[in-house]
Amino acid sequence: MDTLPVVIVRPGEADRLLAGHPWVYAASIMRLTKPAEPGDVVQVKDHRQRFLGIGFYNPKSKINVRLLTQEREDINLAFFERRIRAALALRTKHMPKATSFRVVNAESDFLSGLIVDKYEDVLVLQTSSLGMDMRKAEIIAALQRIFKPRAIVERNELASRKFEGLADANGVIAGEIEGDIDVKLNGLSFKTNPLGGHKTGLYLDQQANYQRVAEMSKGAQVLDCFSFLGGFAIHAAKEGAAHVHALDQSADAIKAATENAAANGVANKCVFEEANVFDWLKAQSTVGPNEKLLPKYDVIILDPPSFTRSRSAVGDALRGYKEIHLRALKLLKPGGTLATFCCSHHVDSTLFMDVILTAAFDAHKVLRRVETFSQSPDHPVIPSIPETEYLKGFAFEVAR
């Protein structure tokens, strides 16, 4: 342990690391005590030589060190097994009935650079840092011991890998798998193919919210905007919605959602329409000079993709968010519920709330907030690592 190269950070940098944030940027580093190779394990100390932790070194990345632990411990198979078991215990505590969930969510589980999703008996692995990627064999061995999975699949085509000097990699790395997996979310069936194709990317982060929004939808006429594989729509239909109209611009998503609805026995209550939500909402909420708009929906769900990947595009994103909220509010019946989500890192919950209130003002509606949503507990939020929080949402009733 004491033979490891030591990265000394500048004065003032230690507190953030002590508070739990795992990234040491190049600019925070004062010096190294001896050369380290990309991917090596290093110690991190402050300028007074106080030990701060151990992590992976990669000078090719803007993040030079990703801390893994504040203890003096070896980073080996036993370490990964302990950490993954601890992450699993959290899921079991907070989502006792779930059979598909994110087992390891990188920084949220103090394993920066590692994501593991469990789709029933198949595990999907992503390694986005060089140090983690180099230790895939130990990670796979730990996963085998804990889960005894039917297969482990690698889905490593992330843009972030390029910053670490890693090439794309995709395929089965342990066991065997053929065709789709029938993934259960809250006991409902969703088909996905972990190896790719059009059915990839079944999101797990809304699992808790599917159920909560569904419970608000009993007997309701529901509109699900940006429906993807039908997560919200099918949960609502199953929980007793009178009818669900779902919109997505992707033909593949519409096809998959239609099949998912049938597999869950709610095809008769759901319509999945291929449409651009902006155009559709505009057409539905625009009336002629002597016409009156008759709101049709008791519940409207807005779960769009992130409208901005960069801080500079936040203005455009906010205009987009405002537009869909304004239109949706016009289509909501008095007393109806708007369940709305924002997964953009650059739009925080205060800013998101501001946009919604501006839209409500323009629509001449007063809203009552009845629920606040976050990502499901398998994507834990660590407030001292702000990057771990990205999904926020609210349910509002139209108060008047």
Lookup result for tokens 């893994």 = 68
By annotation, the residues acting in catalysis are 343
Segment near ligand SAH (CB under 6 A), from 36-44, 74-82, 124-132, 220-228?
220-228
By the rule CB under 6 A, 108 interacts with ligand SAH: no
Tokens of 97: 């009935």
Task: Restricting to residues 273-292, name those near ligand SAH by CB under 6 A.
Answer: 276-278
Lookup result for tokens 């629509």 = 363
Q: Give the residue with the Cβ less far from ligand SAH, 24 or 237.
A: 237
By the rule CB under 6 A, 226 interacts with ligand SAH: yes
Task: Tell me the closest approach of the beta carbon of residue 331 to ligand SAH, in angstroms.
Answer: 15
By the rule CB under 6 A, 253 interacts with ligand SAH: yes
By the rule CB under 6 A, 211 interacts with ligand SAH: no
Segment near ligand SAH (CB under 6 A), from 4-12, 71-79, 224-232, 344-352?
224-232
Task: Tell me the closest approach of the beta carbon of residue 304 to ligand SAH, in angstroms.
Answer: 6
* Interacting residue with ligand SAH among 305, 311, 350, 383 (CB under 6 A): 305
By the rule CB under 6 A, 231 interacts with ligand SAH: yes
SS3 content of the chain, % helix, strand, coil (to 5): 35, 30, 40
- Residues in contact with ligand SAH, counted by CB under 6 A, come to a total of 19
Segment near ligand SAH (CB under 6 A), from 87-95, 122-130, 249-257, 309-317?
249-257
Of 394, 390, 301, 393, whose CA–CA distance to 344 is shortest? 390
Q: Give the residue with the Cβ less far from ligand SAH, 255 or 296.
A: 255
By the rule CB under 6 A, 249 interacts with ligand SAH: yes
Q: Give the residue with the Cβ less far from ligand SAH, 41 or 214.
A: 214
Helix (H) or strand (E) holding 373: strand 367-374
Residue 233: CB atoms within 10 A of its CB come to 32
**Binding flags for ligand SAH, 155-194, as an x/- string (CB under 6 A):** ----------------------------------------
CB-neighbour burial class of residue 291 (10 A; exposed 0-12, middle 13-18, buried 19+): exposed
Tokens of 305: 């993709």
Of 217, 255, 210, whose CA–CA distance to 235 is shortest? 210
Dump the DSSP string for 104-137.
EEGGGGT-TTEEEEEETTEEEEEE-SHHHHHTHH
* Interacting residue with ligand SAH among 23, 79, 203, 394 (CB under 6 A): 203
By the rule CB under 6 A, 229 interacts with ligand SAH: yes
CB-neighbour burial class of residue 189 (10 A; exposed 0-12, middle 13-18, buried 19+): middle
By the rule CB under 6 A, 321 interacts with ligand SAH: no
Dump the DSSP string for 159-218.
HHHHHTT---EEEEEEE---S-EEEEETTEEEEE-TT-STT-----TTHHHHHHHHHT-T
By the rule CB under 6 A, 264 interacts with ligand SAH: no
One-letter amino acid of 289: P
Q: Give the residue with the Cβ less far from ligand SAH, 203 or 390.
A: 203
Q: Give the residue with the Cβ less far from ligand SAH, 99 or 250.
A: 250
Task: Tell me the closest approach of the beta carbon of residue 208 to ligand SAH, in angstroms.
Answer: 12
The footprint of ligand SAH (CB under 6 A) covers: 203, 206, 226-229, 231-232, 247-250, 253, 276-278, 303-305
